[in-house]
Amino acid sequence: MPEEQVLLEGLRSGDETAYELLIAHFQQPVFGLVQRLIDDHNEASDVTQEVFLKIFRSVNQFRGESSLKTWIYRIAVNEAYNRRRWFGRHRKPETELEAQEPGRSHLDHLHDRSRSPYDLVLNEEWKSAIEKALAGLNPAFRSAVVLRDLEDLSYEEIADVLDISLGTVKSRILRGRESLRRALIEQFEPARGFAFSPQPAD
């Protein structure tokens, strides 16, 4: 983010404009990330608010050892994990996979990337299948795949966000993509033209 140091100084001094700039720049990306990790629009809104409260409370502890974006995404992933664990203890599994806006899903906003499972999302049927398969992934694999294929973070950034080694990042992405491939193959007959290979985590 441009002028990151100036923004940080403003946040640390309690400058109202700095807080507004932070929210304007990061609110939608954080909300999108959280929603993809917990599959609930309303809960994602609550978690996003918690993320920014934690940012405001903890900004003086940020030492710049990573980028501001990486630090914020790390908080968002941790808060999403906490909420998912709460779901596991207190709620039945969520089955609603449709987007809040009729006829649209957050996969409509994907960038064009080669050789990822999302390349073959050509219509709403495929999008719904991707949503369902993504929701069924192991949470550790899911976070890595979302950060790489949806958020377009580098492997190094993902390692910082998830606090894992670079090798573990690559392994989780590869295994997550393979799990997506298998889940999608189970949903569609080969005759319908569904075929792809997971992108190597190079």
In order of their start, the domains of the chain are: 1-96 (1.10.1740.10), 106-202 (1.10.10.10)
Q: How many residues does the chain have?
A: 202
pLDDT band per the 50, 70, 90 thresholds, residue 101: very low
**The token pair that represents 16 in the structure block:** 């109202």
**The token pair that represents 199 in the structure block:** 């992108």
Residue 74, SS3? helix
CB neighbour class for 35 (10 Å; exposed up to 12, middle 13-18, buried from 19): buried
For the chain, how far is it from start to end, CA to CA, in angstroms? 26
Rounded distance, CA 115 to CA 194, Å?
14
- Which segment of 19-28, 29-38, 106-115, 182-191 scores lowest on mean pLDDT? 106-115
Residue 13 predicted with pLDDT over 70: yes
Q: Which residue has the higher pLDDT, 143 or 188?
A: 143
The DSSP call for residue 14 is T
Whole-number pLDDT of residue 25 = 92
CB–CB of 66/160 below 8 Å? yes
What pLDDT, in 10s, does the model give residues 146-192?
999 889 999 999 999 999 999 999 999 999 999 988 888 887 755 45
What pLDDT, in 10s, does the model give residues 29-50?
999 999 889 877 888 999 999 9
Q: What does the mean pLDDT of the chain come to?
A: 78
Whole-number pLDDT of residue 133 = 84
Q: Which residue has the higher pLDDT, 129 or 197?
A: 129
Dihedral, 185, 200, 151, 124 alpha carbons, nearest 10: -20
Whole-number pLDDT of residue 47 = 93
CB–CB of 107/131 below 8 Å? yes
| Phi-psi domain of 14 (left: phi exceeds 0; alpha: psi -120 through 50; beta: other) | left
CB–CB of 51/75 below 8 Å? yes
